[in-house]
Structure 1
């Protein structure tokens, strides 16, 4: 075995260029694959782990206590398909009149539980203690970490009940409530429903959850089940933004794997062909065919392992900003966002294994060669390969260097096809990235309407330490319209509402004024303008099983409003619905706006307008300008990184091909130089040998990139791109893309071409 290792190490040292190519290719591919797998892992594993630790409820169900008794509900725990159940717990919905810490005004679901433990939905206490006495409450904390002990002891005021003292903060992965009190305190809240928490034996699909609930309610009075919530909805909301990035990362990861396998196979095939004599010598010295194969596999394994380790480290560093952006602003509960160990194991073990498999087929070619045949075969291609095509090209009026270069690929058709495939994938990547960049840039501008400058003004809220405006709601709007530079003004009120048939509350935005400025945010239907109209984002529609044209009922302060979904937004919060001021009047006519958006006239000074706003009322706060769309920045940035990586990898494949070709044709180059071919003509001939492949690769890669772009933008669940954002391909953009393949080929061929041009006749003949 020591002899095999020594021979393999000698081969690695002798073939430094091929070793470096394999290492760089594997490094780039590992980085790409790790990013895709890291996002896939973080999109599901953290939620599943936290949900499992808390024995989360597969279904949270609320029942009308006037229709069903606690005894009847307790018996549902023994129904077929129920793995475990908890409850019944009294449940009430109270109204928070004004923003309190992170809780907006609107309904808050309060449940009476004696302790946070239980067989289902074990609530994790983050700060303080559990509520046991009169007037005590534990509030749900939606984010990471803890709110801090300084928030304990604060007062939470609700309508129609005494103020509560916050004694603890907790989190539930089931989102079964917004707050908890001792069961004895529920009488003061007039609970109208009872909560049951279920875990089913089968719960992997929405249909299985529905079947489980149907089995549970089979023996109960009709109409007793009022609202339900599936954990699958929570899981989809948890990973909604991550799922946006996942298709992009997956496509680039697959492209990286394909290019890596092609180039490794091409490298090993070239090593075998160009090393016939070396293989023959090894066999003549007593190496068995299996040992010869082992030498070649070891030759690729050494740089593959090194490249894989470095690529894993680079991918780990790059994955952190992606995960930070993908899970920012969402309710993570007790889930700890991170990458599972299996991701690193797959990359560190799987990538070298893939390299060995890619190298196995050409390495087996060395296994079959006998010593005599290998030694006599030499290095040159077999006579007759591509001669007919080369003679045909020689009869054209093309310069001799060009005709000779165009004929070279036909001498090694297998190597040529693998090189062409690498170029095609490189052009596909460039085309895909170009389309994604155009789409995402348009997406980042979609909320800017006609491009006019907008100023967002917030009405001060004493609940978060701000001074309240002196002017009334309508007076504020009128004042903003009267200030110099204002063109259009809209007011927005925010509250939480309950949706009929759903346990978890939703955010509701209500608009009045010049709402036509938001027409550009609609991808299907129209922006709500009249009473009873609403719009929502794709994530909201998908998670609630709704579509444009459906009707939903909103509940607030004991009132209800029936609204029709008349529009689908390009994007938006998964728990938010947009409606009109007329709809708000049905629910809470006293609620005032918290934010005003002012679209300025052409040429108006935004800073001067902001100063005028502040001078008009100290309770008005001009918000910073719109931040850069992080999704757009992330997708465009990492698409560019992946494109550079895969383009370099494809160019390395061309580099390897040209290097092998020039080494095999050293005798031919010496003869051509001896009859008068100049170094410049040698360079032209060598570059031309792959430039034709680059042109063909460009023509094949463009339609593949366009198809991949359309496939991606059509399957992003949280964004509904309008056709104007998808239609990014026009003739002027396709011309440089058609030359991308030539650019990749020339980039890879230039260095070995110049090396071949510098070969002297004496050196070639001396080697012969």
Structure 2
């Protein structure tokens, strides 16, 4: 065994290029696999654990009290498939205002709140976790969900409801968390009557667990069973646990298809490199294999020696990949702890174990398959065979290249790969992976830039804020992460639009106003953005359907369609200030915003329910050849009687998720390109050393060092062009499959414009990138061949 160990160590030490290639290839594969696996575990583990621990609701249903009695709603607990149920709980939607404890700026109100009457936080379904304080046990007490969109986080805060009889006031006595997102707040059941507007029937909430609820199809069956157990039309909305899970996992889910694609590239490339390097070592070491067998090594020992030469650098590479993967995953997983309130969001140990074991098993099997040839070689044949390949191979290609009107060293180099077709195929495969990785990375970066532009969407030149000093262009209210309901000035919108339209240089404009409403079945509040003016110029990318054309029509993102189980053409009901406002969905927009419950509609849609809703900002695009600075100065002079100010509109910065994806793309792509180039380097080194005597002969016949370099570089041109031609469409196909998968995992639909982002000139350059990879990989062995003296080359066997 000691003799075998010496052989393995000697092979690793003397084949430094091959050792480096093997180590880097396994590093890339392990890094990407750890990232993908850890994010996959993080996107499923915390929510599933919390959901199981709290016996979360598979389905939350809201019922109209005018369509079904409490007894009829309670009877739905016996619907087919129901394994456990809780309720009915009385519900109400209210518009709270703070009791001055929060210190909110003037005109900033709290988002609407869905309140549920519940005696205690326990029960057979949806056990609510009390984080602070106590449960509401009497009148005037309320427990807030930590998922409520408002800034309230202190026990003892008082909330007022001036729109209800008697202007009731409640005190926050606790903060709680529901994994099912069943409510924004909880009170004792008798308190619901004081929080329900006169003349409204109110509603009920039921929570269900089912025997089969793991897929959307199963939940659709369960939902139909519940609806069939109550009078027709009594169900006003439902919420699936899969929708809640998808929303909470959205940040990490976006990474998973992207990293899995890189992991697949890394794994396939590592298999290719291991097989190519071991097979090349066997092919060029036949005499050494014969000597080992002559001194007593068995065929199995010879095979194990070559496997060991592959496993040592592979083990180091896997260890490096585990360290790099864990380090890169930490910032990506940092949001998971915040979402679920857990203490840590580290790497699952089984991911490291699985990646390490899988990578080493893969290397072992690949190296064994490539090293079998060494075990099958007869001792006499191995000792008798030199390094050169079999005579006759590539002769046809050599004769054809000689007829080409090109320098003779170049024609000799072009014919070299055909003498070793299997080795040339390995080099082609390495360049295919390198080109595919580059194409995939460039396409991914372009798609992410498109996403960022679609997220910013506003291409206006000038903006006018109508609510006093704005928090800053592109910024949100400092008291909330979501847009607050901000009261604009009392200035008539018509006075503002008159100034804007009369200003020379105005091209087009639109005004926007944000308000919060509730939609049955959608947890929390939904932000409605209303538009006046030429809203079609707002810059939102349409996925399907069209932009709204008037009152009663709306466009929404894919996440809203999922949350409401609706489609284009359906009508949803918005509840604003006690009024029901039906809107018809006419289009889906691409809007990857943190607040995914969004509705975009015409300003007239909510004019009846909220008559005082006025634009808080006007976006203006100036005409071509109009100086923006001069336009702003002139517009501010015209606005001075209204005490308003126009400012230049600035683009929003890139989101943290997109920055992280860009960084990971660059890092992993550079590693894959380096592996591809080193794969070419390894093959060309073997090819050059194998033909060193031939190089000595042509040098003796007068070939200069510069011509020698040209010959070696020419030997990779054909395979590089072939690899680039294959790798380009492969990279485009991988990109076209990964981008929609990233969107679907995050609950978004990507339009074709986000996928087909590479123009023809870039595609040509990416295709030629394979040639660049090949030349870079061949430069070092070409220099070595040029520096080798003629005498030393001729003496080499």
TM alignment of 1:466-505, pairs within 5 A? 471-472=490-491, 474=493, 477=496, 481=500, 488-500=508-520, 505=525
Of the three residues 124, 128, 135, the one matched with 2:129 is 124
* Residue matched to 2:793: 764
Alpha-carbon distance between aligned partners in 1 of 2:308 and 2:635, rounded to the nearest angstrom: 68
TM alignment of 1:424-463, pairs within 5 A? 424-446=432-454, 451-455=459-463, 457=465, 459=467
SS of residue in 2 equivalent to 1:382: coil
* Residue matched to 1:89: 89
Alpha-carbon distance between aligned partners in 2 of 1:5 and 1:616, rounded to the nearest angstrom: 90
Q: 2:553 aligned with 1:533, yes or no?
A: yes
* Residue matched to 1:178: 184
* Residue matched to 1:414: 422
Q: 2:658 aligned with 1:652, yes or no?
A: no
* Residue matched to 1:703: 729
Deviation by residue 1:314-347 (Cα, 9 ceiling, x = unmatched) = 22333344445x879x966769755433332232
* Residue matched to 1:40: 40
* Residue matched to 2:535: 515
Indicate conservation of the 8 Å contact 2:87/2:206, yes or no: yes
Residues 603 and 242 of structure 1: CA distance in aligned 2, closer, same or farther (over 3 Å): farther
TM alignment of 1:552-567, pairs within 5 A? 552-567=572-587
Alpha-carbon distance between aligned partners in 2 of 1:36 and 1:476, rounded to the nearest angstrom: 55
Deviation by residue 1:212-260 (Cα, 9 ceiling, x = unmatched) = 2344455444444332110111122223344444333332222222222
* Residue matched to 1:112: 117
SS of residue in 1 equivalent to 2:716: helix
Residues 369 and 699 of structure 1: CA distance in aligned 2, closer, same or farther (over 3 Å): same
TM alignment of 1:156-305, pairs within 5 A? 156-157=160-161, 159-160=163-164, 162-190=168-196, 192-216=202-226, 218-305=228-315
Alpha-carbon distance between aligned partners in 2 of 1:344 and 1:447, rounded to the nearest angstrom: 35
Larger displacement relative to structure 2 (616-625 or 400-409): 616-625
Which structure 2 segments of 5+ residues have no match? Answer: 471-476
Residues 632 and 623 of structure 1: CA distance in aligned 2, closer, same or farther (over 3 Å): farther
Residues 607 and 4 of structure 1: CA distance in aligned 2, closer, same or farther (over 3 Å): farther
SS of residue in 2 equivalent to 1:120: coil
Q: 2:564 aligned with 1:544, yes or no?
A: yes
Q: 2:348 aligned with 1:319, yes or no?
A: no
Larger displacement relative to structure 2 (201-210 or 285-294): 285-294
Alpha-carbon distance between aligned partners in 2 of 1:344 and 1:616, rounded to the nearest angstrom: 66
TM-score in terms of structure 1 length: 0.89
* Residue matched to 2:16: 16
* Residue matched to 1:625: 650
Q: 2:718 aligned with 1:692, yes or no?
A: yes
SS of residue in 2 equivalent to 1:578: strand
Indicate conservation of the 8 Å contact 2:532/2:602, yes or no: yes
Deviation by residue 1:28-70 (Cα, 9 ceiling, x = unmatched) = 2222333333333333333222222222111112234455555
Larger displacement relative to structure 2 (412-421 or 729-738): 729-738
Q: 2:163 aligned with 1:155, yes or no?
A: no
Q: 1:721, CA displacement in angstroms?
A: 4.7
Q: 1:666, CA displacement in angstroms?
A: 1.9
Indicate conservation of the 8 Å contact 1:127/1:148, yes or no: no
Indicate conservation of the 8 Å contact 2:151/2:479, yes or no: no
Q: 1:584, CA displacement in angstroms?
A: 0.9
Q: 1:543, CA displacement in angstroms?
A: 4.1
TM alignment of 1:627-646, pairs within 5 A? 627-630=652-655, 632-646=658-672
Alpha-carbon distance between aligned partners in 2 of 1:80 and 1:376, rounded to the nearest angstrom: 80
Of the three residues 580, 603, 612, the one matched with 2:627 is 603
Q: 1:693, CA displacement in angstroms?
A: 0.8
Q: 1:104, CA displacement in angstroms?
A: 6.5
Q: 2:780 aligned with 1:755, yes or no?
A: no
Q: 2:138 aligned with 1:133, yes or no?
A: yes
Alpha-carbon distance between aligned partners in 1 of 2:287 and 2:24, rounded to the nearest angstrom: 28
Alpha-carbon distance between aligned partners in 2 of 1:364 and 1:571, rounded to the nearest angstrom: 56
Deviation by residue 1:504-561 (Cα, 9 ceiling, x = unmatched) = 5422222223424315533444332411010111332244343333322222222122
Residues 302 and 143 of structure 1: CA distance in aligned 2, closer, same or farther (over 3 Å): farther
Of the three residues 585, 590, 601, the one matched with 1:579 is 601
Indicate conservation of the 8 Å contact 1:46/1:338, yes or no: no
Deviation by residue 1:638-696 (Cα, 9 ceiling, x = unmatched) = 33333322211111110010011112112222222222222222211111111211111
Deviation by residue 1:670-726 (Cα, 9 ceiling, x = unmatched) = 222222222222211111111211111122222223333333445533555555554
**Count of residue pairs brought into register by the alignment:** 765
Residues 189 and 299 of structure 1: CA distance in aligned 2, closer, same or farther (over 3 Å): same
* Residue matched to 1:669: 695
Indicate conservation of the 8 Å contact 2:463/2:646, yes or no: no
Of the three residues 611, 615, 631, the one matched with 1:589 is 611
* Residue matched to 1:29: 29
Indicate conservation of the 8 Å contact 1:104/1:496, yes or no: no
TM alignment of 1:310-389, pairs within 5 A? 310-323=320-333, 338-389=346-397
SS of residue in 2 equivalent to 1:530: coil
Residues 205 and 725 of structure 1: CA distance in aligned 2, closer, same or farther (over 3 Å): closer
Alpha-carbon distance between aligned partners in 1 of 2:298 and 2:464, rounded to the nearest angstrom: 77
Alpha-carbon distance between aligned partners in 2 of 1:580 and 1:749, rounded to the nearest angstrom: 62
* Residue matched to 2:316: 306
SS of residue in 1 equivalent to 2:125: coil
Alpha-carbon distance between aligned partners in 1 of 2:249 and 2:366, rounded to the nearest angstrom: 35
SS of residue in 1 equivalent to 2:599: strand
Residues 619 and 5 of structure 1: CA distance in aligned 2, closer, same or farther (over 3 Å): farther
Alpha-carbon distance between aligned partners in 2 of 1:216 and 1:549, rounded to the nearest angstrom: 25
Q: 1:587, CA displacement in angstroms?
A: 2.3
Alpha-carbon distance between aligned partners in 1 of 2:758 and 2:192, rounded to the nearest angstrom: 61
Indicate conservation of the 8 Å contact 2:94/2:161, yes or no: no
Larger displacement relative to structure 2 (44-53 or 240-249): 240-249
* Residue matched to 1:570: 590
Alpha-carbon distance between aligned partners in 2 of 1:731 and 1:725, rounded to the nearest angstrom: 16
Residues 241 and 477 of structure 1: CA distance in aligned 2, closer, same or farther (over 3 Å): farther
Indicate conservation of the 8 Å contact 1:571/1:720, yes or no: no
* Residue matched to 1:735: 764
Q: 1:74, CA displacement in angstroms?
A: 4.7
Alpha-carbon distance between aligned partners in 1 of 2:602 and 2:123, rounded to the nearest angstrom: 42
Residues 65 and 438 of structure 1: CA distance in aligned 2, closer, same or farther (over 3 Å): closer
Deviation by residue 1:440-469 (Cα, 9 ceiling, x = unmatched) = 434433467795424363626999599976
SS of residue in 1 equivalent to 2:653: coil
Q: 1:581, CA displacement in angstroms?
A: 1.4
Alpha-carbon distance between aligned partners in 2 of 1:520 and 1:469, rounded to the nearest angstrom: 24
Q: 1:738, CA displacement in angstroms?
A: 2.9
TM-score in terms of structure 2 length: 0.86
Residues 617 and 293 of structure 1: CA distance in aligned 2, closer, same or farther (over 3 Å): farther
Deviation by residue 1:179-224 (Cα, 9 ceiling, x = unmatched) = 0112232232247222221111211111211222344455444444
Residues 568 and 365 of structure 1: CA distance in aligned 2, closer, same or farther (over 3 Å): same
SS of residue in 2 equivalent to 1:587: coil
Alpha-carbon distance between aligned partners in 1 of 2:344 and 2:239, rounded to the nearest angstrom: 23
Residues 127 and 683 of structure 1: CA distance in aligned 2, closer, same or farther (over 3 Å): same
Indicate conservation of the 8 Å contact 2:238/2:520, yes or no: no
Alpha-carbon distance between aligned partners in 2 of 1:544 and 1:337, rounded to the nearest angstrom: 30
Larger displacement relative to structure 2 (479-488 or 103-112): 479-488
